[in-house]
Chain A
């Protein structure tokens, strides 16, 4: 079992019978940094929905860490996402009425299983440690509405990484950052993913970043729909 993601004969449609996604085979090795790209409308958002278990495949199998999402109930998929997947949005990642620290610890509070994966550290300590490693240790008590976009994305990353999920999905997390911030953000993300041994699926249409990754997947090439 060396695959973090293992898709076989996936078919998905919002309004059957018109399929928007048809993937014969897609396997991503554990620990890999994968660059997923494709033009708008190629089904990136849909694929991320399926990988995170928010959407359910019509046919085929979608194995995340060996568990087939296509055969799991809604709550089981929610639990799997909460525990084993860290998700970073393009923007507006944070709950506005919670502090930075409260945003970071949220997945570990909502998912009991993930809260147990802090190497024995108390939750707050683990969270501040993670914040420090991401260079946002000084703002953990601030309101998230007062952060810059770059700071917000780092908070979102800290949240995605805390509790060491096996899979990190980042949906164009750098598109709202300028060149300098983008570079330092990527460095941090890579370092932390390597440290906790997570597989990273990074979605972007900015192919300049492609060489930094272990592997690139073009969705329009593998999507047969």
Chain B
């Protein structure tokens, strides 16, 4: 047997001999490493979930304004659009040869604080989130008629609505009781969507014609006077002319065409339009709100340091009861430097096994908790092999363990020199 192997096996056997302290040290190291890696995992998962709020859409097109604002009101249903897109411009862009599909959306109304989104059947057919998941119905069907409405799952759950229920939409976006209710034109719930854990759940979906119909008798942004309104049952879907929409999602036939198309839309001659690439805008937005990440990382780092200090204490306090053992090793020809090396090996072993256990713990938890976390928080935690960062973490912890191990090792070296072969027990 090689001599370094002898030392390694001695280190292992010695740790095994002090089973309880070794296991406790391993547990504390594993927990701290798992917290560290777990936070990294959640961080990456949160970022990915966030940037996968909308997928497969190459461009979001709306009236010219802030790109972040456009992203917020189209994807996250936050804030309000400044202007609309004429249906004519929409059709022109839609018919470009580079365009594979579009999803028009029309905003501006709400129901008890939840946004009402006007869209068409392309939304149910083409909209994707988290890579390739599509909109599905828990019950019912997509709105087809003018006064049909489908509910996002959270809306249905929070308000306790069922199929066939009639609801009134409020003009404008308000969480309180609306001042102007479209109470002359109630909508009927025809469908409830499956949960997506994206902002889709917190909205109601009607047809584009439905949005137009609510405002068909309005003049200059004001509702009709009493008795002058058009009665709901007289409105026919075929007769409704859609004048404008708020924005639309767009997918190109080939991704390489995205930039050219974006330029073309941004310089659209008839109307001031703007197109943003959702991935870019999403990561801009994430970077703006994610400074908490750094704090978490620092906290986790401290936890790892505490774990290492625990190991240091366990090894250091064990030294006194091991003076005899060290004297025997000295007697059979192990030099004081090798005694020191033995101690460093022990801390290295603890750190390595502790890190691996910690990572195994994280993966175990991810596998077990993944469905729960996804259901409760809409956070998709990916199960994947060790990332480069995690390899680096393990290496970092083992290295730090070796460095920390130098302290008890140095003490052992001093003991070995001063005790020699005689230990007063």
Question: Which A positions have Cβ atoms within 8 angstroms of B?
Answer: 45, 48-49, 52, 54-55, 74-75, 78-79, 81-83, 87, 89, 92-98, 106-107, 109-112, 114, 159, 171
Contact = CB atoms under 8 A, between A and B. Distances in A.
B14 A79 contact: no
B45 interface: no
Interface in B371-425: 420-422, 425
A87 B420 contact: no
25 contacts: A52-B331, A54-B420, A54-B421, A55-B420, A75-B335, A75-B337, A78-B330, A78-B334, A78-B336, A81-B333, A83-B333, A87-B331, A87-B421, A89-B327, A89-B328, A89-B421, A92-B324, A92-B328, A92-B425, A93-B328, A95-B325, A95-B329, A107-B332, A112-B3, A114-B333
Interface of B: 1, 3, 6, 13-14, 16-17, 324-325, 327-337, 420-422, 425
Given A48-B421, A74-B335, A110-B6, A95 B330 contact: no
A159 B332 CA distance: 9
A110 B332 contact: yes
A41 to B, nearest CB: 13
B327 to A, nearest CB: 8
A123 to B, nearest CB: 8
A198 to B, nearest CB: 16
B3 A106 contact: no
A156 B82 CA distance: 91
A100 B422 CA distance: 22
A83 B14 CA distance: 24
Contact of B421 (A49, A75, A83, A96): A49
Contacts, number: 69
A114 to B, nearest CB: 8
Q: Which of B328, B333, B337, B425 has the most CB of A within 10 A?
A: B333
Contacts of A75: 335, 337
Nearest to A159: B332
A97 B334 contact: no
A53 B297 CA distance: 52
B75 to A, nearest CB: 62
B334 A96 contact: no
Contacts of A89: 327-328, 331, 421
A74 B416 CA distance: 12
Given A48-B421, A49-B421, A87-B421, A94 B328 contact: yes
Given A96-B325, A97-B16, A110 B422 contact: no
A97 B17 contact: yes
A109 B327 CA distance: 17
A45 B328 CA distance: 15
B14 A97 contact: yes
B325 A110 contact: no
Nearest to B326: A95
B331 A109 contact: no
Contacts of B331: 52, 81, 87, 89
A102 to B, nearest CB: 8
Nearest to B17: A97
4 residue pairs, one from A and one from B, having the closest CB atoms: A82-B333, A97-B17, A54-B420, A78-B335
Contact of A97 (B1, B13, B330, B332): B13
A44 B218 CA distance: 113
B328 A95 contact: yes
Contacts of A74: 335-336
A52 B421 contact: yes
Contacts of B13: 97-98
Given A95-B325, A112-B3, A107 B333 contact: yes
B425 A78 contact: no
B332 A87 contact: yes
Contacts of A95: 325, 328-329
A83 B331 CA distance: 11
